């Protein structure tokens, strides 16, 4: 039986739930007296100190959140999950966020102390939301990352690149972090018993993209420097480049294949299959990007850096602090140069040349993502394929 995902269920993954009282009548298909899905940790930033009612700080998304002890009001909507963190630990510096934090003065400012702890590597997961002191937290270690860009050997034939065997580069701290926070595999879960035709395939892809957006939001917030941006800038960046991140993921999964596209582990299509699935000429456009990356023999470490750079390469006109986004982009660029320097070894400018070739794939990535966006926006306008609300909102944000 095919799993059915709702947007609220998708938001609830890997999140600390915030209980919400049940409404007096049914809402969004839920039966009466049944509790609403818990608000996840990707909801809106709330002013936890403000009196009732609490409201979302996201522009255009104001909803009222019922306090735990207040009765529900049928005329007042509940807070719906949006793109970012709810119930998070929020401190406010009474000065200018530049307090001196030493062993003797560590209790002077909680906000600056928290910022310094994060800067030197403290995990946000280790912060207890109940503010109660506890013992050391333990987190599961992920298995060692495969140094190859994908399992198995590189494809033989014209994709092989001359120049001898690849050198293994020492991995710097940022690359190591990006490898650790790389999301787990997602599955499209197509219904094998479903009707033939392109509409079910397009609906499966829309559902897959909706779940990938949720994962992408969580991944972006784990990139050092991204969470330091203002909430509105985080939203602007993600709304402008989310499809580029998703398309790059499709290309990376397709690297070990020959003329095929791996939209998910269980959904692989060749160019003709993509056309039969209702994707038109998108298959050819995506394969062009895949072949470009195959020719470069993209390594996994380079992929995670390129993916983060695609995120930071936003050109949204709605960004308020462009300098902060530029600093994030520069830090990722330096990490790429450092990785390539270790990969190329001493002498010459080979690392800069390879880094340049990798960065030159970003315009093609943006062009391809634009084609995918235009196609699915056309699907939305036709109205024949159901789409989740989050996917619709992100599509509309890009096409406005």
Q: What is the CATH number of the domain that holds 361?
A: 1.10.565.10
9 pLDDT above the threshold of 90:
no
More confident residue, 236 or 60: 236
pLDDT of residue 320 exceeding 80, the answer is: yes
- Spatial neighbors of 65 by CB under 8 A, at least 6 apart, are 20, 46, 53, 54, 55, 56, 78, 79
Residue 67 makes CB contacts below 8 A (sequence gap 6+) with: 52, 53, 54
Phi, psi of 234, deg, nearest 5:
-60, -45
Q: 20-29, 93-102, 328-337, 340-349: which has the highest mean pLDDT?
A: 328-337
How far CA 369 is from CA of 8, 147, 161, in Å, comes to 26, 27, 27
Q: What's the rounded Cα separation, in Å, for the pair 205 and 61?
A: 27
- 90 vs 360: which has the higher pLDDT: 360
Residues in Cβ contact with 137 at an 8 Å cutoff, skipping those fewer than 6 apart? 123, 125, 126
Q: Can you tell me the mean pLDDT for 320-339?
A: 94
Q: Is 141 within the bounds of a domain?
A: no
Q: Is 201 a member of any domain?
A: yes
Residue 97 confidence (pLDDT): 80
- pLDDT: which is higher, 124 or 146: 124
More confident residue, 344 or 374: 374
288 falls within a domain: yes
Cα angle at 43 between 61 and 182, to 5 degrees?
A: 125
Task: Return the top range by mean pLDDT from 26-35, 172-181, 194-203, 237-246.
Answer: 237-246
Examine the domain organization and report whether 111 and 247 are in the same domain: no
pTM of the model: 0.61
> d(Cα 182, Cα 142) in Å, to the nearest integer?
10
Cβ atoms of 283 and 295 closer than 8 Å: no
Separation between Cα atoms, residue 391 and residue 10, nearest integer Å: 12
> Does the structure show a pLDDT above 90 at 31?
no
Confidence (pLDDT) at 37:
38
Asked if residue 132 is part of any domain, the answer here is no
Task: Please check whether residues 255 and 115 belong to one and the same domain.
Answer: no
> Residue 46 pairs with which residues in a beta bridge?
56
**Full residue range of the structural domain in which residue 219 is found:** 173-397
Domain contains 358:
yes
Answer yes or no: do 285 and 360 share one domain.
Answer: yes
Q: Is the pLDDT of residue 288 over 60?
A: yes
pLDDT class of 342 with cuts at 50, 70, 90: confident
Residue 135 has pLDDT above 70, yes or no: no
Is 60 a residue whose pLDDT tops 70? no
pLDDT of 376 strictly over 90? yes
154 belongs to a structural domain: no
DSSP tag of 267: E
Tally of residues, the chain = 400
Confidence of residue 109 (pLDDT cuts 50, 70, 90): confident
Question: How many Å apart are CA 354 and CA 341, to the nearest integer?
Answer: 10
**Domain finish residue from 68, 101, 125:** 125
**Is pLDDT at 340 greater than 50 in this prediction?**
yes
- Mean pLDDT across the stretch 225-233? 93
Q: Are residues 118 and 188 in the same domain?
A: no
Strand partners, 65: 54
CA 198 to chain CA centroid, Å, is: 27
Mean pLDDT of 211-219: 95
pLDDT of residue 19: 40
Mean pLDDT of 135-163: 37
Dihedral sign for Cα atoms in the order 378, 380, 382, 386: positive
Same domain, 196 and 107: no
DSSP state of 143: P
State whether 109 and 187 are in the same domain: no
Residue 148 resides in a domain:
no
Q: State the average pLDDT over residues 367-390.
A: 94
pLDDT at residue number 105: 78
DSSP 8-class letter at 149: S
Q: How confident is the model at residue 49 (pLDDT cuts 50, 70, 90)?
A: very low
Do 117 and 246 lie in one domain? The reply is no
Same domain, 325 and 386: yes
Mark whether 246 and 107 lie in a shared domain: no
Structure tokens that stand for 351 in this block? 């690392």
Q: What is the pLDDT of residues 293-317, one digit of tens each?
A: 999 999 999 999 999 999 999 999 9
Q: Given this model, what pLDDT does residue 89 score?
A: 53
CA-closest candidate to residue 145, choices 119, 196, 182, 93: 182
Structure tokens at 320: 């308020």
Whether 229 has a pLDDT exceeding 50, the answer reads yes
- Whether 332 is covered by a domain: the verdict is yes
| Same-domain pairing of 226 and 100 | no
Same domain, residue pair 119 and 258? no
The yes-or-no verdict on residue 228 having pLDDT over 70 is: yes
Average pLDDT, the chain: 73
**What pLDDT shows up at residue 351?**
73
Cβ–Cβ under 8 Å, residues 237 and 316: yes
* Total number of domains constituting the chain: 2
Q: Is the pLDDT of residue 356 over 80?
A: yes
How many helices (DSSP H) and strands (DSSP E) are in the chain? 12, 4
> How confident is the model at residue 110, as a pLDDT?
84
Is the Cα dihedral 34, 28, 237, 318 positive or negative?
Answer: negative
pLDDT above 90: percentage of residues in the chain: 47
Q: What's the CATH number where 118 sits?
A: 3.30.50.10
- Check pLDDT > 50 for residue 66: no
Same domain, 186 and 296: yes
């Amino acid at each position: 039986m095919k799993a059915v995902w709702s947007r609220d269920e998708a938001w609830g993954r890997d999140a600390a739930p915030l209980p919400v009282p049940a409404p007096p009548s049914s809402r969004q298909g839920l039966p009466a007296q049944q509790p609403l899905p818990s608000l996840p940790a990707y909801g809106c930033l709330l002013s936890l100190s403000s009196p009732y009612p609490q409201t979302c700080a996201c522009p255009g998304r104001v909803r009222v959140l019922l306090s735990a002890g207040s009765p529900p009001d049928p005329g007042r909507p509940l807070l719906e999950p949006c793109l970012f963190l709810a119930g998070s630990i929020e401190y406010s510096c009474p000065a200018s966020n530049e307090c001196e934090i030493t062993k003797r003065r560590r209790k002077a400012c909680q906000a600056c102390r928290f910022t310094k702890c994060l800067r030197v590597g403290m995990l946000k997961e280790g912060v207890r939301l109940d503010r109660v002191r506890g013992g050391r937290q333990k987190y599961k270690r992920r298995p060692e990352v495969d140094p190859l860009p994908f399992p198995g050997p590189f494809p033989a034939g014209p994709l092989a690149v001359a120049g001898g065997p690849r050198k293994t580069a020492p991995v710097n701290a940022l690359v190591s972090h990006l490898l650790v926070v790389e999301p787990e595999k997602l599955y499209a879960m197509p219904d094998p018993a479903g009707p033939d035709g392109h509409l079910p395939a397009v609906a499966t892809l829309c559902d897959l993209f909706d779940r990938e957006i949720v994962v992408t939001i969580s991944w972006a917030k784990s990139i050092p420097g991204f969470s330091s941006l203002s909430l509105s800038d985080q939203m602007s960046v993600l709304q402008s480049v989310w499809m580029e991140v998703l398309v790059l993921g499709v290309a990376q999964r397709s690297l070990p294949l020959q003329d095929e596209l791996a939209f998910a582990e269980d959904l692989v299509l060749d160019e003709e299959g993509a056309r039969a699935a209702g994707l038109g000429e998108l298959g050819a456009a995506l394969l062009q990007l895949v072949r470009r990356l195959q020719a470069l023999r993209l390594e996994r470490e380079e992929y995670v850096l390129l993916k983060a750079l695609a995120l930071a390469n936003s050109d949204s006109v709605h960004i308020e602090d462009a300098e902060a986004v530029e600093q994030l982009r520069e830090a990722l660029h330096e990490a790429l140069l450092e990785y390539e320097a270790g990969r190329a070894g001493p002498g010459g400018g080979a690392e800069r040349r390879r880094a340049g070739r990798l960065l030159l794939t970003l315009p093609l990535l943006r062009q391809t993502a634009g084609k995918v966006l235009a196609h699915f926006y056309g699907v939305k306008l036709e109205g024949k394929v159901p789409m989740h609300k989050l996917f619709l909102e992100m599509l509309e944000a890009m096409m406005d």
